[in-house]
């Protein structure tokens, strides 16, 4: 599972899960304050 974590504010961190890297990378490109990670 691919996870995009978006850091808006110290109390506003959002995580979105994707099944493919392409889906996650597309969403990651929309943010400047986010990271992409992979977990099993």
Q: What's the mean pLDDT in 19-30?
A: 97
Determine the pLDDT at residue 5: 97
For 3-23, write each residue's pLDDT tens digit: 999 999 999 999 999 999 999
Q: Kindly report the pTM of this predicted structure.
A: 0.88
Contact 3, 15 (CB under 8 A): yes
- Could you tell me the residue range of the domain that residue 18 belongs to? 2-38
Q: For Cα atoms 32, 38, 40, give the angle at the middle one, nearest 5 degrees.
A: 155
- Number of structural domains the chain divides into: 1
Q: What's the mean pLDDT in 17-40?
A: 96
């Amino acid at each position: 599972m691919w996870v995009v974590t978006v850091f808006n504010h110290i109390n506003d961190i959002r995580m979105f899960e994707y099944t493919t890297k392409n889906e996650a990378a597309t969403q990651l490109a929309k943010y400047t304050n986010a990271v992409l990670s992979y977990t099993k």
